[in-house]
A and B are shown apart, each in its own frame.
Chain A
Amino acid sequence: MNAAPLCRRPLGCLKTSLRQARQQNVLFGRTMATATETPAAAERTPGSSMLPDHNFYQLMDTKTKKLRSAFAVYTPPTINTTLTTPLKPLKGIRKGGMRPLPPAAPLPGLLKAPSDPMPLLHAAQIKRMDPTGARAKLFEKTRHGVRPGDVLLVTHRRNREPFAGVCISVRRAGIDTAVLLRTALSKVGVEMWYKVYNKNVAGIEIIKRPRRRVRRARLTYMRLPKHDPGNQTELVLEWKKSRKALLSKAGAAKKGGKKNAKKAKAGAVAVVGKK
């Protein structure tokens, strides 16, 4: 080590050492900061009534069958929730800005939602889309409800022509419940899925039920030429005729029957057809 400069400029090395001190200052400042904070926080400690209850989980030694160790396992109180407020989907933050969130109450524990939210979600949506319950009733799983093999007439808002076809299958999926109808238009087989609870589906009517109970849930065999039911227009015409007759009879029996007939027509969502 060359010590000559030390003799010449004895204070020269102070510069280096002071620089080192500066650097270490920075380092120490950082480490000390957390150290000084902790006791202050510890003084405030409170909290352990809020500190959830705990019991001990014991670890046993397999050989000696003695307690090896034990750990506190916390059991926070859980608050089971159910659907209380109606769901409001599809409404985001407004253009003018965010609506202020309401102040939240302190939670005494953890909120625990029902483990299967799907049925509740379905029920909430069905209630919204089908307030009268007519469609739900039309598709309930009883002998009065729609079953595969029935001939259905679906009136759609967008398509002018109502679509009539044999119900090949009913896909039950809560709000997403759908029916598959099959018919033949200009000798070409056509199948259409209709979502039962969709607002575009204006009306569904059973116009004919099979004479014998169908013993399959999915009538895919109807796609074979041998079993193809073909066009349903004749059935539709027949049904319309009989309906007209029924309605006019009712009208003849009662005065002001026309009004009733009109009403029936307008509200014809779930008219169970003739057997």
Chain B
Amino acid sequence: MAPRLPARCWRQLHHPSSLLLSRTTTVLPPPPAAPSLLPRTTTRGVKYGWSTLSPRAKPNRFNQVTSGIPAPTTGPAAALLRRARTTPLRTGVLAIKKGMTALMGKSGARIPCTVLQLDRVQTVATKTRAKNGYFAVQVGLGERHADNVGAPMLGYYEAKGIAPKRELAEFHVRDAAGLLPVGVQLLPDWFHIGQWVDVRANSRGFGFAGVMKRHGYAGQEASHGNSKNHRTMGSAGPSQGGGSRVHPGKKMPGRMGNERVTMQNLPVLLVDNDLGIVVVKGCVAGPKGCIVKIQDAVKKPPPPKEFIEATRRQLNERFPHAKQVLEAARKRHLELKEARKEGRIQEFLSTGLIEKETVAQAVDAAILEAETMAPRPEVVA
């Protein structure tokens, strides 16, 4: 095989006084800026593949899967593959826990349930493998007054064309098929009655609690010479001979609750768009009014394929122009950003309303044009 030569070596070929032509010159003059075959790229930087790996470990054509070497079991790709089975196909939603009640059946059945409400749940962003290393959908809930949003986030929402949200969360999805257009609203009918979901929430916080409350220790005697140690934990481990140390993870007093609790495989009992509620069987961690995450259950089969397709179709029917809206918002954002940089934002404030109207008109015309050029294909039911 021919030797691998760095560019600076073979670039000499272009030079008239190179070795090939005259063997007498010993000192090579610096090559002129000859037009190169290859595009000029930066050779340093993590972005461009620079790494601290040993030369043998660096990717070349001999250590690829295509040359017969088994796929690596570590690394980002392997990690995603490992988690593929337990990553839901679709995004989940954010909701607010409204409280518990019961559903009564006609035959006398009574099922305790928790009511979770979706408040203007919108998709805010998508994360992709190429850009972020994983597939996910960022979802927002509720609304937040601009007073309570920092400048960076105001810019973020501005670029999305979305009002600031009260809460943001990411939901991992298995592949690109699970990604949704930005700005669409997810309604309770994203789930179907009878499907299983996992519901995550932070449990109620109990503050600093002792071992009896926090870990269920038995405490100590009330009498028999016990003095001022009725609810203490007693010994924390053996002394000399046992290491004379406290083992890591020893149960002790401390903050109790307010930790994430996942209730797995809760059946969905009721779904209603008008009330914005998803009712799940049983209890969910956290107090009333807490934020919960609902997503298809990891340990149960996903919803039927037809259902997933149908919900996607509905989403597109409800928000047919989501893409265009996002694009318009981005354009507007860039315009405003430039203005902010140059200190011209004042102009927009004064002319904001008029400007907006003209833009809207222009855009209307563009929509009409786009629709006449390429009519939207009929959605097959």
Contacts and interface: CB of A to CB of B under 8 A. Distances in A.
Contacts of B275: 81, 83, 113-114, 117, 120-121
Interface in A35-70: 41-42, 44-59, 67, 69-70
Contacts of B106: 199
Nearest to A49: B360
B216 interface: no
A82 interface: yes
A53 B353 CA distance: 9
Nearest to A116: B98
A140 interface: no
A125 interface: yes
B243 to A, nearest CB: 52
Contact of B323 (A10, A41, A53): A41
Contacts of B331: 42, 45
Contact of A106 (B155, B310, B320, B381): B320
Interface in A17-37: 17, 19-21, 24, 28, 30
B117 interface: yes
Nearest to B4: A16
Interface residues on A, range: 35 or more
Interface residues of B, number: 104
A51 B275 CA distance: 26
A98 B191 CA distance: 13
B104 interface: yes
B127 interface: no
A176 B102 CA distance: 6
A48 B332 contact: yes
Closest CB pairs A-B (n = 3): A92-B194, A113-B276, A47-B324
12 contacts: A6-B19, A12-B2, A13-B2, A30-B130, A47-B325, A47-B328, A50-B325, A59-B151, A72-B158, A98-B306, A121-B101, A128-B104
Interface of A: 1-3, 5-7, 9-10, 12-13, 15-17, 19-21, 24, 28, 30, 41-42, 44-59, 67, 69-76, 78, 81-85, 87, 89-93, 97-98, 100-101, 103-107, 110-118, 120-122, 125, 128-129, 157-158, 173-176, 195, 197-200
